[in-house]
């Protein structure tokens, strides 16, 4: 018997909750966090901490830790180009109370990376959202649990981000919000 009362036996592999993302640099992070704090003050909710701000490319969910090398191998085969992303709009989703930053006209290289990654992941046996019918909706979540149901969104001072790499991230959920740890990173090719 184990101390927690469960019978001992072959140990279940430890799962890891993982996803692929773009992680903004300091300047972009500061600008987006400023907007997050400002919106949380106006509309209620929890502003995301600066170091957690990201744009999800593909969400995988729980996998055994030993699967990480296979995911990394799939990602290494993605042939994506670097691009610039101008954040110039705020948006709000009423169904999950999330306020986010996005781009009015994202460079097609962004969805090309997301779709390239989704294809490689699917081939490796990890279908991600895009391949299971969820359209890719590129956004950076700024505020969660927004209280105001019809926030009048302010203008987002435009901020330009040079995306030069993507990352595999491990997420650890807690009552205080998720903590993220970068597992691996891959450069995007200079266009
Ligand atoms: P929390 O769940 O504590 O509010 P979080 O959503 O940021 O925090 P995760 O749930 O680990 O942390 O999600 C990591 C990233 O993947 C986030 O950007 C989240 O929006 C996205 N994500 C989570 N679940 C899915 C899903 N089923 N499909 C697509 N993206 C998802
Ligand atoms: Mg979540």
pLDDT of residue 128: 81
Tokens 């491990």 belong to 170
Is it the case that residue 183 has pLDDT exceeding 70?
yes
The answer to whether 126 and 46 have CB atoms below 8 angstroms apart is no
Q: Is 177 in the pocket of ligand 1 (CB under 6 A)?
A: yes
Residue 155 CA neighbour count, 13 Å, CB half? 3
- Closest ligand to Cα 61: 1
Q: Is 46 in the pocket of ligand 1 (CB under 6 A)?
A: no
> pLDDT category, 8, cuts 50, 70, 90?
low
Superfamily of domain 15-187: Cyclic phosphodiesterase (3.90.1140.10)
Is it the case that residue 57 has pLDDT exceeding 90?
yes
Domain ranges of the chain: 15-187
Residue bearing the CA closest to ligand 1, atom 17:
56
Query: SS3 of 15, please?
Result: strand
Instruction: Count CB neighbours of 16 within 10 A.
Output: 21
Summarised one tens digit per residue, pLDDT across range 94-123 is: 999 999 999 999 999 999 999 999 999 999
């Amino acid at each position: 018997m184990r101390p927690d009362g469960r019978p001992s036996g072959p140990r279940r592999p430890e799962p890891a909750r993982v996803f692929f993302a773009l992680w903004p640099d300091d300047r972009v992070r500061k600008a987006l966090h400023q907007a997050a704090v400002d919106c949380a003050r106006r509309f209620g909710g929890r502003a995301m901490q600066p170091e957690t701000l990201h744009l999800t490319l593909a969400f995988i969910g729980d996998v055994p830790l030993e699967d990480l090398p296979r995911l990394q191998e799939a990602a290494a085969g993605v042939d994506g180009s670097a691009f610039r992303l101008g954040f110039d709009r705020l948006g709000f989703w009423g169904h999950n109370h999330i306020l986010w930053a996005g781009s009015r006209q994202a460079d097609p290289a962004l969805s090309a990376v997301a779709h390239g990654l989704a294809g490689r992941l699917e081939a490796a046996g990890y279908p991600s959202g895009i391949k299971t019918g969820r359209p890719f909706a590129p956004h950076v979540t700024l505020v969660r649990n927004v209280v105001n149901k019809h926030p009048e969104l302010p203008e987002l001072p435009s901020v330009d981000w040079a995306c030069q790499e993507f990352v595999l991230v491990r997420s650890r959920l807690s009552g205080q919000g998720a903590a993220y740890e970068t597992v691996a990173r891959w450069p995007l090719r200079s266009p």
